[in-house]
Amino acid sequence: MQRIAVVGGGAAAACVVESLARTVREPCALTVLDGGGPLWRGRAYQPDSGRVLTNIHITQMSLRERDADHALRWLTRRAPGSVDDDGLTSRSLYGAYLDDTASRAWRRLAGRGWRLRTVREHVTRLLPDGDGVSVGTAGGRCERFEHVVLCTGPTVPGDPYGLATSPRYVATPFPLARALATVPPDERVGVLGSGLTALDIVAELVARGHRSAIVLASRGGVLPAVRRRSSPDRPRHLTLTCLERNVAAGKPFRTADLLKLLRDELRTAGVGEAGVLRELALTEPAVERLRRQLRDADDAGLGILRQALHRFAGHAWNLLPDAEKAALWQRHGRAVTSLCCPMPQHRAELLLRLLESGQLQLLGGLSGVVPRPPGGFDLVTRDAVAGVGTLFNALNPAAPGTGAPSVPEVFVTRRLDIGHPLGGLRTDRTTHRVPGAHNGRSGLYALGHSTRGSVLFQFGMPSLVYQSGLVARAIAACTDTPWEPDAPTWSAQGQGDPGG
Ligand SMILES: Cc1cc2nc3c(=O)[nH]c(=O)nc-3n(C[C@H](O)[C@H](O)[C@H](O)COP(=O)(O)OP(=O)(O)OC[C@H]3O[C@@H](n4cnc5c(N)ncnc54)[C@H](O)[C@@H]3O)c2cc1C
């Protein structure tokens, strides 16, 4: 009986268990190790206020690789009316879907003779040896497995301003219902970051009747783009067929090739380049950009750019040389994150209303945060200092090349030369297997945040479902005949919406 360990028991682990149950026929011994949160929900989908919503369409958040409506059917049955017109639902309910689906997969495996167990301990050491991996825990266990899947998720957001011990600093804001419960409605509140997590905090504060100012402060001062409802026509140039043609011709794929495909796409659609370049350069003031995007919700150039990022960029990224990836991310990473993690229209309208009324302030160019005894903080930019009381950390680890490594990742990269130059572990794009010593084969696989150097959009549910399918098929190939002989190839299956 082959032994499989899943390190981390959050949303990615739920994807792995579901994929194993659908793909691997031969009974194996499966161990899930997680020393922290509730199994299968991870950090993002814990029980919380029903107003804290998912940020991508529910049909892109199915745990089943080839059944896009699975999550929607579950929610419709269990909580009728819980999916809004944008296809979004409460993160807490989605967590219940993850929990139920993974638990059912677990029971199916048990019924088929798998030996299953969970170990509630933190993993501190991973050591590929031969074609297996030794796993060590903080509690002193050490066991060897033929296959180990690393799913430790994003590390808790960092503490770049050294505030961890300051009173009234909230390092991790989730669950929001608990984190916001003690904030007085007349206190000036600060939020570090201006992405989706920051906006969740703003919306929840306002829904709870917060009356005083809320200050969003970050270095970039960039807000998420406004989500579109309509999709552009099918792409003609930014397609996987075009990429495959490039691969088949044995030509290296470079940034210039990517830009040429984008230009060809815009030309074919009769759309000028100026709007797209402006989106990528992010030179417009944030509030003007928000107003424009709300006004021109169906701008064709923006639609083409977003479609390219969702359906194509992840695959193109895999083919680019590392140095060009790093340069592209440095120039356009903020714009890409903003476009790929958009906010729904109703949230954008709320934000604009708050900004125009002055209740919400957006500070870009944050250079420091100074605690103000006995409680409170000064948020410092080149032009201003804003005083706030409670301060929430809404900084998310961004991809790629940023975000702290997990403990097992640090251990394994110190021992072996398997780190990716842009962070995380090197992984094979068709199996998500991490290379062994001297580029040999190992039994270690990585999913999600630990692949942040290799994979462009590694953290959203569509990507995790896709990656877990690859891992399950790679494990099945070592154990038995896969159940799904028509398994999609990398080119047929998108990495989908980045989510997050
Ligand atoms: C606030 C927020 C909202 C999001 N919303 C969406 C969304 O709407 N749609 C979407 O597609 N994506 C969304 N995302 C992206 C989201 O991160 C992923 O969808 C998913 O939750 C990541 O799953 P994961 O298993 O990789 O990490 P997690 O779910 O965080 O799970 C990691 C698990 O590993 C455990 N662990 C960590 N270190 C160790 C160790 N050393 N040993 C043992 N166990 C360990 C932790 O205890 C945890 O349970 C969101 C992310 C955040 C932070």
Spatial CA neighbour of 10 closest among 95, 105, 87, 70: 95
pLDDT at 453 over 70: yes
Q: Whose CA is nearest to atom 52 of ligand 1?
A: 44
pLDDT at 260 over 70: yes
Residue 108's SS3 state is helix
Ligand 1, residues 91, 455, 461, 463: which to mutate, most atoms within 8 A of Cβ? 461
**Quick one: pLDDT band at residue 438, thresholds 50, 70, 90?**
low
Exposure string of 466-490, with b = 16+ CB inside 10 Å and e = fewer, is bbbbbbbbbbbeebeebebeebeeb
Residue 341 contacts residue 224 (beta carbons within 8 Å): yes
Q: What is the mean pLDDT of residues 245-265?
A: 89
The reply to whether ligand 1 has any atom less than 6 angstroms from the CB of 12 is yes
Condensed to tens digits (0 to 9), the pLDDT of residues 408-424 reads: 776 666 666 677 777 78
The reply to whether ligand 1 has any atom less than 6 angstroms from the CB of 459 is yes
Spatial CA neighbour of 470 closest among 131, 51, 184, 65: 65
The reply to whether ligand 1 has any atom less than 6 angstroms from the CB of 7 is yes
Instruction: Give the rounded distance of the alpha carbon of 213 from its chain centre.
Output: 30
pLDDT at 300 over 50: yes
The reply to whether ligand 1 has any atom less than 6 angstroms from the CB of 301 is no
Degrees to nearest 5, angle at CA 180 with 177 and 184:
140
Q: What is the mean pLDDT of residues 377-387?
A: 93
- pLDDT value at residue 227: 85
**Quick one: pLDDT band at residue 263, thresholds 50, 70, 90?**
very high
Residue 105's SS3 state is helix
Ligand 1, residues 53, 137, 150, 152: which to mutate, most atoms within 8 A of Cβ? 152
Q: What is the dihedral of CA 457, 462, 467, 473, to 10 degrees?
A: -160
Provide DSSP, 222-270: PPPPBPPSS-PPPPSSSSHHHHHHHHHTTPPP-HHHHHHHHHHHHHHTT
Total number of residues shown for the chain = 500
- pLDDT value at residue 413: 64
Q: What is the mean pLDDT of residues 255-270?
A: 92
Q: How far is the CA of 91 from the centre of ligand 1 (A)?
A: 12
Most confident of 124-133, 152-161, 194-203: 194-203
Helix (H), strand (E) at residue 147: strand 147-150
- CATH topology for 169-224+343-393 is FAD/NAD(P)-binding domain (3.50.50)
Residue 155's SS3 state is coil
Q: How far is the CA of 153 from the centre of ligand 1 (A)?
A: 5
Q: What is the mean pLDDT of residues 250-278?
A: 90
- pLDDT value at residue 311: 77
Counting atoms of ligand 1 from 1, which one is nearest the CA of 43?
A: 30
pLDDT at 171 over 60: yes
Condensed to tens digits (0 to 9), the pLDDT of residues 11-43 reads: 999 999 999 999 999 999 999 999 887 899 988
The reply to whether ligand 1 has any atom less than 6 angstroms from the CB of 442 is no
Counting atoms of ligand 1 from 1, which one is nearest the CA of 55?
A: 8
**Quick one: pLDDT band at residue 497, thresholds 50, 70, 90?**
very low
Strands of the 3-7 sheet, one edge to the other? 115-119, 29-33, 3-7, 147-150, 444-446
The reply to whether ligand 1 has any atom less than 6 angstroms from the CB of 9 is yes
- Give first-to-last CA distance, the chain, whole Å: 37
- Residues whose CB falls within 8 Å of the CB of residue 39, separated by 6 or more in sequence, listed in order: 9, 13, 32, 99, 102, 118
Structure tokens at 111: 């019924």
Residue 126 contacts residue 412 (beta carbons within 8 Å): yes
Strands of the 377-381 sheet, one edge to the other? 366-371, 377-381, 385-388
Cα(84)–Cα(94) distance, integer angstroms: 13
Domain 3-155+399-479 maps to which CATH number in 3.40.190.10, 3.40.47.10, 3.40.50.970, 3.50.50.60? 3.50.50.60
**Quick one: pLDDT band at residue 499, thresholds 50, 70, 90?**
very low
Q: How far is the CA of 347 from the centre of ligand 1 (A)?
A: 23
Instruction: Give the rounded distance of the alpha carbon of 314 from its chain centre.
Output: 13
- pLDDT value at residue 41: 94
pLDDT at 490 over 60: no
The reply to whether ligand 1 has any atom less than 6 angstroms from the CB of 123 is yes
The pairing of strands 132-137 and 142-145 is antiparallel
Counting atoms of ligand 1 from 1, which one is nearest the CA of 497?
A: 11
The reply to whether ligand 1 has any atom less than 6 angstroms from the CB of 393 is no
Residues of the chain with CATH 3.50.50.60: 3-155+399-479, 169-224+343-393
The reply to whether ligand 1 has any atom less than 6 angstroms from the CB of 153 is yes
The reply to whether ligand 1 has any atom less than 6 angstroms from the CB of 33 is yes
Condensed to tens digits (0 to 9), the pLDDT of residues 304-356 reads: 888 888 778 888 888 899 899 889 988 998 898 898 888 988 999 999 999 99
Angle between helices 11-23 and 461-479 (to 10 degrees): 40
**Quick one: pLDDT band at residue 483, thresholds 50, 70, 90?**
low
Q: Whose CA is nearest to atom 27 of ligand 1?
A: 153
pLDDT at 496 over 60: no
Q: How far is the CA of 44 from the centre of ligand 1 (A)?
A: 6
Counting atoms of ligand 1 from 1, which one is nearest the CA of 60?
A: 11
Provide DSSP, 377-436: EEEEESS-EEEESSEEE-PPPPTTT-SPPPHHHHHHHHHSS-B-TTSSB---TTT-BPP-
Least confident of 158-172, 230-244, 349-363, 379-393: 230-244
The reply to whether ligand 1 has any atom less than 6 angstroms from the CB of 341 is no
pLDDT at 174 over 90: no
